[in-house]
Structure 1
Amino acid sequence: MNYAEICIIKRDGKKEDFSISKIKNAITKAFNATGIVDEDKLIADVTMRVIGNFATSTITVEEIQDLVEKELMKIRPEVAKKYIIYREWRNTERDKKTQIKHIMDGIVAIDKNDVNLSNANMSSHTPAGQMMTFASEVTKDYTYKYLLSKKFATAHQMGDIHIHDLDYYPTKTTTCIQYDMDDLFERGFRTKNGSIRTPQSIQSYATLATIIFQTNQNEQHGGQSIPAFDFFMAKGVLKSFQKHLTSFLGFHLSMDGEAPEEKSIKTLVREHITSIKPDDYHREMLCMAMTSLRVNLKKEVLNRIIEKAYSSTRKDTHQAMEGFIHNLNTMHSRGGNQVVFSSINYGTDTSAEGRLVMEELLSTTMEGLGTRGEVPVFPIQIFKIKDGVSYSEEDYLKAMSDFEGAMSGKIRFSAPNFDLFLKACQTTAKALFPNFMFLDAPYNVNDLWRAEDPKRYRYELATMGCRTRVFENVNGKKSSLGRGNLSFTTINLPRLAIEAKIKAENLLETSNKDALEKESKEAFLKSVQDMAKLVADQLYARYQYQRTALARQFPFMMGNDVWKGGGELEPNGEVGDVLNSGTLGIGFIGGHNAMMALYGESHSHSQKAWDTLYEAIMQINKVADAYKAKYSLNYSVLATPAEGLSGRFTRMDRRKYGLIPGVTDREYYINSFHVDVKEPISILEKIKKEAPFHAITRGGHITYVELDGEAQKNVKAIAKIVKVMHDEGIGYGSINHPVDTCNACGYKGVIYEKCPVCQSENVFRMRRITGYLTGDLSTWNSSKRAEERDRVKHH
């Protein structure tokens, strides 16, 4: 071929004459970057091989670069890697000049692209949503250029890692928190425009809970959680009951002509009635105490008044729970019509007040929102399974022998809240929540927990958001209260596996499968360890930056001691060590895809693949433990709940390595250690395969199963699945099933293409995206929509 006739097509479409020197110079730079010099002959040979592969007289710059990579990989893989990295970096730098403009244009035009749909909880097409998205993209660019070191910025932009919430990086804020709401209620708290005193009724308790949610959400970018909702609301129930009892007693006595001051009656009621279901002794004590007011109160009269007060309190509690759920689904906390990313944990308060809270919460969740009973998206509800409290094997067997009787309340159980466990299963079958947290999984146990401790919730694990777990603490008590996640960053496991396989093939130059797999595995595990160290260093750098924030940047969270220790800070003082109770999460994604890259087999049916994935996560744990000891910080391993990320890594790796079956051939990577969503696996096998990973991902994890059909018609099946999770050592689990509503006639059930009643195609489809629910799949990004389509049902 006559080189003078060759035409090069540049990236902007323009043409230019061919130049051998440009190829030779690029290859020389790659050799020099690797530290290899005086290889002019080899460089010339590679250059001629590249040119010799030209198939036509017209070729693009990208095609030439692909040929350079291919030829370098044959002779000097380490040089090829430097060339690839440099090429990717140049692409990134080149894209910066036009990418922001392109992104901004998409926001203005409210395109349905993955930038606008990166958060299914945000309406990015509204003016406030557009402003949030504008700000997000601009601050990410600012973070790349001015805040991240080149090493970390390069790793993120190349797709080796993903630094989450980069748009919030400059604000120095933290991710999420678990509220000690009892402390807040007892002390009262301040907002921007005034102080709030201790609430005096269940309605006030529930309303103030939503205010705390909404206010603190504006000072963090992640989840907000109440770790013991039942315990915290119980005091409000008792106060409402005492208030009603005082009022009804006063009214009765006034009808009889005996009218002591209400304040005097209230004092005696509070002194002697400490439960909404007082026993005979306390009833008699109140009757006797009333004689001090010169009142002869008959016990049968008191019993009727107590019954009426209880009925009114139940009604108040139901309305309070109804208002709580409605507020959390309508009260916007940030731009883009975002409601609070809220979670509540409950299940272990055995008091009559706490039980009433749970009963009415579950009832109102089943009733749903609005006139058509829409399934509430928030709060994410988590029911705590605790042996002897909300669950027992004996009670389970009783319930299974007569499930209808168990659900109707005809069976007495030994565990005081087992009936609420059954109601939780019934609610899950209809509304997808609550999820289930297993407190007796060995890694979830706290030795300080005592059944007789009225504040035992302090030693119970709670979770938030999609799966964030904050429990162990090298700088304080093992507890979830008043703490949260500081930040987390995710490792691209499939890329490490792909490169390990390439390295092994180039190193061994053999077709021996066992030898290749052994070498690939060793290279993979080593690269996982190295990447985990990079992430640990990056998290530490971000932590050091977060420490410099001033307390006044978080007036509610620090000023009210919501984040424990913040209340001791001066407004202009740095938060510093107050943050050291938080967690730093080393996350990972694509375990399934990584195993497919190494072995061509999934860890769901290949033991060597399962073992390798487990070893890889243990490598991350070793790094987390080492850095925990080095810095005395709470490093943890997170099974990342990827929403936008699942597609980002895949797109980048497909461009870099091409279409690899089982690895880059879809629009998304599989979440964390999860079995492939397309895998036809039974419920029991899926749970067994995933359960051991929960113990080694203590920054957060979840296992879900996908059901077909109308689960609300088979509550018994839900209870069986929860038992399997309990028995197999799952830490946190959820159950997915279709929840569809016809917008035309209101029919609820599994709807395929058309409503079976009115034939309408206008259907609202409620689904779980990562750990939270969303309706209307059009709000999901393209990768998660593709994943949802691929999900098989488990049997």
Structure 2
Amino acid sequence: MNYAEICIIKRDGKREDFSISKIKNAISKAFSATGITDEQQLVADITMNVISRFSNPTITVEEIQDLVEKELMKVRPEVAKKYIIYREWRNTERDKKTQMKQVMDGIVAIDKNDINLSNANMSSHTPAGQMMTFASEVTKDYTYKYLLPKRFAEAHQLGDIHIHDLDYYPTKTTTCIQYDMDDLFERGFRTKNGSIRTPQSIQSYATLATIIFQTNQNEQHGGQAIPAFDFFMAKGVSKSFRKHLASFISFYVVMDTNTSVEEKAIRALIEEHLPSIKTNELERETFRMALTALQINIDKEHLARVIEKAYLQTRKDTHQAMEGFIHNLNTMHSRGGNQVVFSSINYGTDTSAEGRMVIEELLKATIEGLGTRGEVPVFPIQIFKIKEGVSYSEEDYQKAMTDFEAAEEGRMTFTTPNFDLFLKACHTTAKALFPNFMFLDTPFNQNDKWDANDPKRYQYELATMGCRTRVYENVAGEKSSLGRGNLSFTTLNMPRLAIEARIKAESMVEDGRNKDAVEMKAKEIFLESIHEMATLVADQLYARYQYQRTALARQFPFMMGNDVWKGGGNLNPNEEVGDVLRSGTLGIGFIGGHNAMMALYGKGHGHSDKAWDTLYEAVMEINKVVDEYKAKYNLNYSVLATPAEGLSGRFTRMDRRKYGKIEGVTDNEYYVNSFHIDVKEKISIAEKIKREAPFHAITRGGHITYVELDGEAQKNVRAIAKIVKVMYDEGIGYGSINHPVDTCHNCGYKGVIYDKCPVCQSENILRMRRITGYLTGDLSSWNSAKRAEEKDRVKHL
């Protein structure tokens, strides 16, 4: 065939003259990418072999590339692999040019697609929501093209890994933060328009907490958490009590003697002689005698009544403060798209009367709910800390089980100071799905510095973001959750590695019918590939960290300027954040453990010990990489059980296109979260907890175990307490209990509602469900993968 007569048809249909050099250059680049630079004759031979296979004078670019792949596979398979990857990369880049237009059109038309529904906490159809989505998609494109090193961008776009929050990559911000609220309250803080002084009442404490949440949310892309809500709010209760008591005593003096007295002096005596809002007879008498120095004479009976009145008014204020706190966090928009703050609060271990009052009233306000219908609050995500001798004991648990109704109603006394709050927490969970439960006695959640007599012991207690992110161990300082957060995290596609391992094993084992030999080889390849991919992710996280370090402190005026992120307060505004970020965590995440085991064995780890052992080994391989990189860079690498919302469908769609439908692997719309048992698998509550618990110890970047209950949990609070005990006994780090919570919009009926309200027959039903770590009351705001997953969830018995 005369080369001059050959015509090339390009992808856009245009024609151009044939050029040997273009084929030769493409093959040469593939060799160079493999590290081979001295095979020019072989490159020339392959080029001529490709041309010799032209059968028509006209040929498409795609056909030529197919021929190049075949010829490379014959002589150099490793080069062929590089060529194929590059070809897929170029195809992806070309597709993006047309895809971006389609994406923008979908946003304009407010289509119900997975881009517009990627965040169930955002109303993407509102003008501000549309702007957020426009910005997000354009910024991701910018990140791919100009910021990400090619090998990481390629791995993300091909679906080997998922780099989370790529739209925030150019901003250099971090993911989340856990506030040292006591420090902020005592020092005061600055916002854009002025400074805020130390609050002086429980209402002010609660209001400023919401302001801190809202302000800092705009400087990060993830969640915000208060690690010790009860400890931090307790001072506000004390201040309100002193204010009320001083006011009531002053009023008493005016009524009794028709003279006035300075309340400030009375408050000083209250602070000196009444250390708690719960007073005993000796303290009251000492205080009464001290009042005589101010010429105030009041008898014991009247003083006791005045103190009781101040106590009751303080409780009323505390309830209103907690009510306002919850309402504000469900209505204050922190970003476009009507997004409220992704907020979490941890509590349960402050045994002071003030801290206990905060939690008692918080739980009451949570049950009362929002608005006139009492809707279940979505935020804050609440986490109750279980601590032996503080909020839990086996002795008190067994005692409560002898007459649970009496225990719930407060007709029973316990040795553990906050065990009654634990029961109230179970009651609230049964009604409102929160709080979740964190177990501080689990070995990996303990801190040797924790001391029951330390008034600031909360510094050494683990706290979490409600979705599951765990920030605790620290190579750069104190082992604590305060003033730290996650820097970024990236998830590897575990099912894909298992699929490819099985395919390779079947081609490598001579006797393909020998199932055990194939599985053994597949497992070996799988674990090697897990290690390799985790290493890639570790490198990518380090590259992003190096980029984040270059941010200037003035880019985060609230977070750094107010020392919210510990160390940031020492920086000048134009100084790079640099080493201040070393206290943050870098998470290597994974998804689809169940699906990966199905690809290897055709069985999930819920009932197969072989699958369970392999999945455990796989996660341990990621831990090996974490340990290696933690030592290499002295940074807080960790393994994260990824909370996949949008990602659960993305990987699945890509793998189904690449490998077809594989039963139990790619035949659903989603991959199962991290190490979780398949949501469709019938398994008992105890067995599910038992099989997932060991994974908590090896996913210290964050984890959670859920159980799904059928029926109305509010009618069986005893069952909630039993489940929490099983979690405690099995060594769960962080657990949650899901159950249906439905509310009729028309009449306000609450309960399990199937098709129509049993009272008014309305179909206008609010169905509160948990998506990853947070709640939503409108399943239509979920993406297609998460809707499919929710539909498949079986109840555990």
Q: Check 1:77–1:600 CA distance in 2 against 1; reply closer, same or farther (3 A cut).
A: farther
Contact in 1 for aligned 2:381/2:774 (Cα 8 Å): yes
Which residue pairs with 1:142 in the alignment?
A: 142
> Residues 21 and 385 from structure 1, CA distance in 2 versus in 1: closer, same or farther, beyond 3 angstroms?
same
Amino acid at match of 1:662: G
Q: Which residue pairs with 1:627 in the alignment?
A: 629
Distance 2:14 2:524 in 1: 46
Tell me the TM-score normalised to structure 2 length: 0.93
Equivalent AA in structure 1 for residue 172 of structure 2: K
Unaligned stretches of 5+ residues in structure 2: 1-6
Q: By how many angstroms is 1:16 displaced?
A: 9.6
The amino acid across from 1:157 in the alignment is Q
What residue in structure 1 maps to residue 447 of structure 2? 446
Q: Are residues 74 and 781 of structure 1, via their aligned partners in 2, closer, same or farther at CA, if it must alter by over 3 Å?
A: farther
Q: Tell me the equivalent position of 1:376.
A: 377
Q: Which runs of 5+ in 1 are unaligned?
A: 1-6, 52-58
Note the C-alpha offset of 1:262.
2.0
Q: What is the deviation of 1:46?
A: 9.7
Task: Say how many residue pairs are matched.
Answer: 783
Q: Which segment is superposed worse, 714-723 or 83-92? A: 83-92
Of the candidates 27, 36, 42, which is equivalent to residue 38 of structure 1?
42
**Aligned counterparts, 1:475-490, within 5 A:** 475-490=476-491
Residue in structure 2 matched with residue 299 of structure 1 by the alignment = 300
Equivalent residue letter for 1:168: Y
Q: Secondary structure at the match of 1:660?
A: coil
Structure 1 stretch displaced more, 291-300 or 779-788 = 291-300
Distance 2:356 2:490 in 1: 39
Q: Please give the alpha-carbon distance, in whole angstroms, between the structure 1 residues aligned to 2:420 and 2:284.
A: 27
AA matched with 1:655: R
Which has the higher mean CA deviation after the structures are superposed, 617-626 or 26-35?
A: 26-35
Which residue pairs with 1:200 in the alignment? 200
| Paired amino acid for 1:245 | L
Structure 1 residues 550, 20: closer, same or farther in 2, change over 3 A?
closer
Contact 1:644 1:781 in 2 (8 A): yes
Report the residue type matching 2:757 in the other structure. Answer: C
1:318-365: CA deviation from partner (whole Å, max 9, x where unpaired): 000000000000000111111000000000000000000000000000
Q: Do the aligned residues in 2 keep the contact of 1:30 with 1:82 (CA within 8 Å)? A: no
Change (3 A) 1:785 1:29: farther
Give the counterpart of 1:736 among 735, 738, 747. Answer: 738
Amino acid of the residue matched to residue 761 of structure 1? E
Q: Cα distance 1:84–1:140, how it changes in 2: closer, same or farther (>3 A)?
A: same
Whether the 8 Å contact between 1:222 and 1:465 is mirrored in structure 2 is no
Tell me the amino acid that sits aligned with residue 38 of structure 1.
L
1:602 matched residue in structure 2: 604
SS of the residue 2:42 aligns to:
coil
| C-alpha distance 26-781 of structure 1, shift in aligned 2 (>3 A) | farther
Q: Provide the rounded CA distance (Å) in 1 between the counterparts of 2:74 and 2:412.
A: 73
Whichever residue aligns with residue 391 of structure 2, its letter is S
Residues 24 and 43 in structure 2, CA contact (< 8 A), matched pair in contact too: no
Q: Deviations over 1:541-590 (max 9, x none)?
A: 11111111111111111111111111111111111111111111111111
Conserved? CA contact 2:126–2:337, under 8 Å: yes
Residue 27 of structure 1, CA deviation: 10
Structure 1 pair 606/15, CA: closer, same or farther in 2 (3 Å)?
A: farther
| 1:526 to partner: Cα distance | 0.9
Moved more, 281-290 or 229-238: 281-290
**1:27–1:43 contact (8 Å) kept in structure 2:** no
Q: Does the CA contact (< 8 Å) of 1:678 and 1:790 recur in 2?
A: yes
Cα-to-partner distance string for 1:2-51 (whole Å, 9 max, x where unaligned)? xxxxx999977x7999x999999899679746658739999999999999
1:158 alignment partner in structure 2: 158
Structure 2 Cα separation of the partners of residues 519 and 364 of structure 1: 57
Matched residue of 1:534: which SS? Answer: helix
> 1:398: how far off?
0.8
Name the residue aligned to 2:118. Answer: 118
How far apart in 1 are the matches of 2:367 and 2:51?
69
Which amino acid is the alignment partner of residue 585 of structure 1? G
Change (3 A) 1:41 1:765: same
- Give deviations 1:403-450, integer Å, cap 9, x for gaps: 000001111111110011011011001100000000000000000000
After TM superposition, give the deviation of residue 261 of structure 1 in Å: 2.2
Q: Secondary structure at the match of 1:767?
A: strand
Q: Output aligned runs, 1:341-360, within 5 Å.
A: 341-360=342-361
Alignment RMSD, CA only? 2.8
Partner residue of 1:265? Answer: 266
Residue identity in the other structure for 1:349:
D
Contact 1:160 1:495 in 2 (8 A): yes
Q: In the alignment, is the contact (CA less than 8 A) between 2:174 and 2:220 conserved in 1?
A: yes
Deviation at 1:745, TM superposition (A): 2.0
Q: CA deviation at 1:454?
A: 0.6
2:415 equivalent to 1:411: no
1:509 Cα shift?
Answer: 3.6
| Aligned residue number for residue 4 of structure 1 | none
Find the residue that maps to 1:764 and give its secondary structure: strand
Which amino acid counterpart does residue 304 of structure 2 have in structure 1? N
Indicate which of 610, 615, 618 corresponds to 1:616: 618
Contact 2:49 2:71 in 1 (8 A): no
Say whether residues 1:386 and 2:387 are aligned partners: yes
What's 2:652 paired with?
A: 650
What residue in structure 2 maps to residue 671 of structure 1?
673
Contact 2:706-2:735 within 8 A present in 1 as well: yes
Task: Give the corresponding residue for 2:234.
Answer: 234
- Residue equivalent to 1:711: 713
Q: Give identity over the alignment, percent.
A: 80
Which AA in structure 2 matches 1:190?
A: R
Secondary structure in 1 aligned to 2:169? Answer: helix
Change (3 A) 1:302 1:40: same
TM-score by length of 1: 0.94
CA contact (8 A) 2:46 2:72 kept: no
Q: Distance in 2 between matches of 1:761 and 1:124?
A: 25
Aligned partner (choices 663, 666, 684) of residue 661 of structure 1: 663
Residues 716/68 of structure 1: CA separation in 2 closer, same or farther (3 Å cut): farther
Q: Structure 1: how far apart are the matches of 2:543 and 2:281? A: 62
Q: Is contact 1:46–1:72 with CA below 8 Å preserved after alignment?
A: no
Provide, for residues 678-716 of structure 1, a one-character-per-residue CA deviation record: whole Å limited to 9, x for no partner: 111111111011000000000000000011111111101
Question: What is the CA distance between 1:295 and its match in structure 2?
Answer: 2.2
Q: Secondary structure at the match of 1:90?
A: helix
Q: Give the Å deviation of 1:489.
A: 0.6
Query: Residue type of the partner of 1:522?
Result: E
**Matched residue of 2:162: which SS?**
strand
- Judge conservation of contact 1:50–1:68 (CA < 8 Å) in 2: no
Query: 1:500-519 maps to which residues of 2 (within 5 A)?
Result: 500-511=501-512, 512-519=514-521
